Amino acid sequence: MRRTMLYLPGNNPNMLTRGYLFGSDGLVLDLEDAVAMAEKDTARILVQHFLKQGEFGSCEVTVRINGVDTEYWKDDLAAVVPFPALQGIRAPKVDDAATVKIIDEELSIIEDKNGIPVGRTKIFCLLETAKGIWNAFDIASASPRVAAIIPGGEDLTADLKTSRSKEGTELDWARRMLVFAARAAGVDPIDTVFPRVTDDAGLRKETEFIKQLGFEGKSVIHPNQIPIIHDVFNPTEQEIEKALKIVAAAKEAAERGQGAVSVDGRMVDIPVVKRAEYTLLKAGLLEVK
Amino acid sequence: MAKNALGREIPEFIEGYGKTKLFQGAFALKPEGYRAGGKIRCVNSTCTDKRVSDIKAAIAASGLKSGMTVSFHHHLRNGDFVVNMVIDACAEMGIKDLTLFPTALFGVHKKLIEHIKSGVITRIMGSVNGPIGQLVSEGGMDVPVVLRSHGGRPRAVASGDVHIDVAFIAAPTADQYGNICGTQGKSACGSLGYAFTDAQFADCVVAITDNLQPYPAAPISMSQLSVDIVVEVPSIGDPAGIVSGTTKVTRDPLRLLIARYASELIEASPYFKEGISFQTGAGGIPLAVTAFMKEAMIKKGIKASFGLGGITGYFVELLKEGLVERLMDVQSFDLEAVRSIGENPKHIEISADWYANPWNSGAAVNMLDVVILGATEVDVNFNANVNTEADGALLHGTGGHQDTAAGAKLTIIAQPLLRGRIPCVTDNVYSVTTPGEVVDAIVTEYGITVNPKRKDLLDACSAVKGLPLVAMEELVSRAHKMSGPTDPVETEDRIIGVVEWRDGTVIDVVKQLKAK
C-alpha cells in the first residue's frame, strides 16, 4: 500500500529517528529540496548512516535524490543503494523516458558492484514539468524499475506559468493525465503533497478528490496529515462488509463452477470481485498476492 | 537510617524536619485520632467592617511575629503580586524567621531569594521551582523544604502536622466583612480551591483584594465566617500571568502521536463507557488526549460524568457540548474556564481537601476513572519522579500527581521517551514522588507500556488489533541506546528536600548538589 509517503528532511536526525513511528506506508528520506546546498554532503552521510542502522518499522523506504541535472545525483545513489533497507529512489524532475534510462543504468552499475540483484531498486518518478506530464506514459513504461509516477506541485505550477490555488484547478488535468498514464503502464499514481499543513479540512477535501480520480495515495509533508489521508483511503465498515460478501459469493460460485453470481440482488462479475478484493487488501483483510 | 517500602534510605530524624515516618505503601497507613481544631474567634456587632488601611496594618493586626508560619495560594500563578507584597512588608517590619507555606511558587516569586538570604524566610514547605529550586538544591537554605501533594497539604494542616499562623488569601473580589470569590474582578482566577483549607484552619485569615464590593458580595466562595481582616490594594496580580488565553491543542506530531496512543489505551480499557470520569490537565499531551477522547466518545455514543482537577477551555467546550456532565474545578487555567465557573452551575468549585486529601471521608480523586500525568523520569518499577530533574535539582512541585495516581482506576504517564538527550525512562529514578504500585501505564512515541501487575489491562490491550505494546525492558534499553550513558548525580550528604507521600510518610529525600 502506498496511501502515504512521508518526506523526512535528510539533515534532520530527530525526524529520521522517529519518522517511521507516525505510521505512514512509506518514507521518503529527502536529499533534494529539504536540504540546503551547503548541507548536501551532511545529509547524504546522515541518510546513509540511518539506512545502515536506523529503524523503519513496516514502512517502504525510499530516498529522494538530487536531479540528474545536478552534480550530486550519482553520489547520492552510490551512498544509499547498497543498503538493504532501501527499497526505491524518488527521482525529481523526470521529463522523459531517457532520464529514467540514465538512472536505471546507474542503478544497475551500483547494484552489480555491490552484489545486489540488478533491478531490486525501484524508481518513483516525480513529473514536475509540463513535458514530464505530457510524457507520463513513456516515463512510467521506460523501465521495469518504475513503481510509481507522481505529479509535481510547486515546480509544475511554475512551469505552467500559473500559481497554486486553493482549489488546485491548475493541477486538475495533470492529475487526471497522470492517473491514466500510470494505470495504463501498470504503475502506481501517487499524488503530490498538500502544502497547507494546518488546513486539515482542505487536506481531507483534496484527498477525497484525488482518491476519486484513481490515485493510490499521496505524498506527505507533515506527520499530522497521515491519519487524515488514511481515514479517506481506508475502506468504510459498510464497504468492507459488502466486499466480504462479494468475495465469499464469488468463491462459492467458482467452487460450483459458475461465472457470474448475484449479491443482494445485483449481478457481480470479475471486475466487481477484483475491486472487492482490493478493498479487503486495503483493509488489511487480504494477503498481498 | 532505615529503608522505606521502596528501598529508599531515610534517616530516622532529619534536622529541620524532625522525626520521619517511613513510607509503607500507597494505602498502608491508617490514621487515628482527631483533626486539629481552629482558633475560636468572637466578633460581635461592634465590628461591621474588617478592613484595615494597608498590608502592613493587616500584618500588624494579624499578630504575625518572627518564627511563625504564613500561607498563600497560587491561583494567581505567574501573575501573583501578593506573596512578594506581603513578604516585602514583613521584611520592612523587621519580621524574620518565617516559614513559608504556599500551595505553589512560580517564577514571579524569585524575588523571595533576597528574603531567604536575609533570613526573613528560613523555611519553605511547598514546591520550589526555577531559581528558588536551584538555590535550595545548592544548599541555599539551612532547613530542608518539604514537598507535599495537593492532597497531602490539606491533610498535613487538618491533622495538625502543619499549623498556619496567618493565611494571606489573594481575593479577586471581597466585601468589607470578608466574603470572597475568585470568579469576579479584574484579577479573576476562577476557582480558589487551594485556599479553602488555609481559611478553615489558620489562626488568622487576611483577604487581600483589588475589587472591593458592597456587603454582601455575590457570588461567595469563602465566607465571612473564616476571614478576620480585609485589605484593599491597587492590584493583586497581572491578568496576563494569571490566566492564559484559549488553550489550544498542540500540533506537535510527536505529542499528538503519544496522545493518540494514550487515548487508544483508554478506549481499550474497561473504563471507556457511559459515565467515565477523567482528569487530563493543561499540558500539551494531556489536552490532546482529551481531543482524541472526544472523537472516540462521539463515535461510541457515550458521555463522561465529570472532568476533574485543573480545568481548561477545552473541558468547558466538552461541558457545553454535553459530552461531560460536570466539571469539578480546583484550579481554572484559562479565560474560558474562569468565565464558565462563574456562570455555569454544572462547573463546580472544589477545595484541595475535597479534590485530593487522603484523610477525609472521601476525596474526588477516588471517583476518578482515568488520569493522564507526566513525569521527569519513570523507572523499571514504574516509580515516577516529578520533583527533580535528572541532574538532581528540585524543579517541580508534586501537584496532584500522587493523589490522582492513587485515586484513579487507570493512571497513565504520557511523555516522549527523551527530552533533548535526557531519557525519561530509566533503571532507577533519582527521586521518587509517586510509587509504581499506583502507576498503570507509560505511553511514549514507541507505544504503550503496561505495568505487569495490571494483567487485566494488558489483556484488554492485547485484544485490540494494532495497539503498539512495548515491554518496559525494551523501552529502557531503547532509551539507553538513544541517549548513551549519563553521569550519576553527585551530591553532598546533607538533605535539602523531603518528599512526603500524601499520607505524610517520607517517600524520598533529596540531597544537596555538589558544587561544580
A28 and A149 share one domain: yes
Statement: residue B156 has pLDDT above 90: yes
- Which one has a higher pLDDT value, A63 or A277? A63
Minimal CA separation from B214 to chain A, in Å: 49
Give the integer Cα–Cα distance in Å for B160 and B155: 8
Residue B444, in any domain of the structure: yes
Query: What is the tens place of the pLDDT at every residue in A225-243?
Result: 999 999 999 998 888 999 9
B271 and B176 share one domain: no
Domain boundary at B189, B208, B242, which?
A: B242
Q: Contact A49/A42 with Cβ under 8 angstroms?
A: no
Contact B482 A22 (CB under 8 A): no
> Choosing among A4, A7, A21, A220, which should be mutated to test the B contact, i.e. which has the most B CBs within 10 A?
A21
Residues of A (182-221) whose Cβ lies below 8 Å from B? 198
A243 and A166 share one domain: no
Of A21, A198, A222, the CB nearest to B445: A21
- Which one has a higher pLDDT value, A281 or A225? A225
* Closest residue on chain A to B421 (Cα): A14
B277 and B174 share one domain: no
Residue A76, in any domain of the structure: yes
Backbone angles phi, psi at B201, to 5 degrees: -110, -15
B374 and B460 share one domain: yes
Statement: residue B243 has pLDDT above 90: no
Domain boundary at B242, B271, B303, which?
A: B242
Residue A113, in any domain of the structure: yes
Contact B253 A227 (CB under 8 A): no
B343 and B443 share one domain: yes
Please give the pLDDT value at position B453. 96
Place of cell 481575593: B171
Place of cell 491519519: A227
Query: What is the tens place of the pLDDT at every residue in A5-16?
Result: 999 999 999 999
Q: Per the structure, how many domains does chain A have?
A: 2
Report the candidate in B421, B424, B428, B445 with the shortest Cα–Cα distance to residue B383. B428
Please give the pLDDT value at position A287. 63
**Chain A residues touching B482 at Cβ < 8 A:** 17
Give the integer Cα–Cα distance in Å for B162 and B150: 14
Reported confidence tier of residue B37, pLDDT bands at 50, 70, 90 = confident
Report the candidate in B349, B336, B345 with the shortest Cα–Cα distance to residue B309. B349
Q: CB distance from B261 to chain A under 8 Å?
A: no
Statement: residue B92 has pLDDT above 80: yes
Burial B198-224 (b: 16+ CB within 10 A, else e): bbbbbbbbbbbbbbbbeeebeeebbeb
Put residue A205 in one of left, alpha, beta given phi > 0 → left and psi -120 to 50 → alpha.
alpha
Q: CB distance from B445 to chain A under 8 Å?
A: yes
Minimal CA separation from A223 to chain B, in Å: 6
Statement: residue B386 has pLDDT above 60: yes
Give the integer Cα–Cα distance in Å for B443 and B289: 11
A273 is in which domain, residue-wise?
237-282
A51 and A104 share one domain: yes
Residue B58, in any domain of the structure: yes
B377 and B442 share one domain: yes
Statement: residue A289 has pLDDT above 70: no
B179 and B62 share one domain: yes
Give the integer Cα–Cα distance in Å for B370 and B496: 34
B357 is in which domain, residue-wise?
253-489
Residue A139, in any domain of the structure: yes
Reported confidence tier of residue A211, pLDDT bands at 50, 70, 90 = very high
CA B285 to chain centre: 18
Q: In terms of DSSP H, where are the helices of chain A?
A: 13-18, 40-53, 73-80, 97-113, 130-134, 136-140, 154-159, 172-185, 200-213, 226-233, 237-255, 270-282
Query: What is the tens place of the pLDDT at every residue in B244-277?
Result: 776 778 899 999 999 999 999 999 999 999 999 9
Place of cell 477525497: A208
Q: CB distance from A17 to chain B under 8 Å?
A: yes
Q: Contact B301/B284 with Cβ under 8 angstroms?
A: no
Residue A25, in any domain of the structure: yes
Q: Across all residues in chain A, what is the average pLDDT? A: 94
A133 and A246 share one domain: no
Min mean pLDDT across B225-234, B282-291, B507-516 is at: B282-291
Residue B23, in any domain of the structure: no
Q: Per the structure, how many domains does chain B have?
A: 2
Q: Across all residues in chain B, what is the average pLDDT? A: 95
Residue A288, in any domain of the structure: no
B259 and B332 share one domain: yes
Give the integer Cα–Cα distance in Å for B366 and B6: 23
Residue A287, in any domain of the structure: no
The CATH number of whichever domain residue A115 belongs to comes to 3.20.20.60
Contact B256 A18 (CB under 8 A): no
Reported confidence tier of residue A260, pLDDT bands at 50, 70, 90 = confident
Residue B154, in any domain of the structure: no
B366 and B429 share one domain: yes
Residue B363, in any domain of the structure: yes
Contact A223 B251 (CB under 8 A): no
A108 and A228 share one domain: yes
ipTM of this complex prediction, to 2 decimal places: 0.85
- Grid cell listed for A112: 552489480
Tell me the average pLDDT across B305-325. Answer: 96
A203 and A96 share one domain: yes
**Chain B residues touching A222 at Cβ < 8 A:** 253
B212 and B284 share one domain: no
B273 and B344 share one domain: yes
Residues of B (235-254) whose Cβ lies below 8 Å from A? 251, 253-254
Q: Contact A191/A219 with Cβ under 8 angstroms?
A: yes
Residues of A (97-126) whose Cβ lies below 8 Å from B? none
Contact A224 B256 (CB under 8 A): yes
CA B384 to chain centre: 15
Query: What is the tens place of the pLDDT at every residue in A119-138?
Result: 999 999 999 999 999 999 99
Query: What is the tens place of the pLDDT at every residue in B49-74?
Result: 999 999 999 999 999 999 999 999 99
Residue A146, in any domain of the structure: yes
Backbone angles phi, psi at B115, to 5 degrees: -75, -25
Statement: residue B151 has pLDDT above 90: yes
- Using DSSP, state whether A65 is helix, strand or coil: coil
Please give the pLDDT value at position A266. 83
A151 and A275 share one domain: no
Give the integer Cα–Cα distance in Å for A210 and B478: 39
Q: CB distance from A227 to chain B under 8 Å?
A: yes
Long-range contacts of B446-451 (CB under 8 A, 24+ apart): B446/A21, B446/B417, B446/B470, B446/B475, B446/B478, B447/B261, B448/B261, B448/B262, B448/B264, B448/B265, B449/B475, B451/B382
- Grid cell listed for B492: 553532598
A35 and A114 share one domain: yes
Contact B446 A21 (CB under 8 A): yes
Statement: residue A288 has pLDDT above 70: no
B172 and B314 share one domain: no
CA B28 to chain centre: 22
Q: What is the DSSP track for B332-388? A: E-BHHHHHHHHH-TTEEE--HHHHH-TTSS--GGGG-SEEEE--SEEETT--EE-SB
The whole model's pTM is what? 0.92
Residue B11, in any domain of the structure: no
A248 and A228 share one domain: no
A84 and A209 share one domain: yes
Strand order in the sheet with B173-175: B180-181, B173-175, B212-213
The CATH number of whichever domain residue B183 belongs to comes to 3.40.1080.10
Contact A17 B482 (CB under 8 A): yes
> Choosing among A224, A225, A228, A240, which should be mutated to test the B contact, i.e. which has the most B CBs within 10 A?
A224
Reported confidence tier of residue B302, pLDDT bands at 50, 70, 90 = very high
A10 and A112 share one domain: yes
Please give the pLDDT value at position A161. 96
Residue A289, in any domain of the structure: no
Report the candidate in B239, B167, B178 with the shortest Cα–Cα distance to residue B209. B178
Please give the pLDDT value at position A256. 84
Backbone angles phi, psi at B495, to 5 degrees: -90, 125
Reported confidence tier of residue B30, pLDDT bands at 50, 70, 90 = very high
Backbone angles phi, psi at A12, to 5 degrees: -120, 95
B272 and B331 share one domain: yes
Tell me the average pLDDT across B10-22. Answer: 96
User: CA B358, B126, B437 angle in degrees (round to 5)?
Assistant: 40
A56 and A30 share one domain: yes
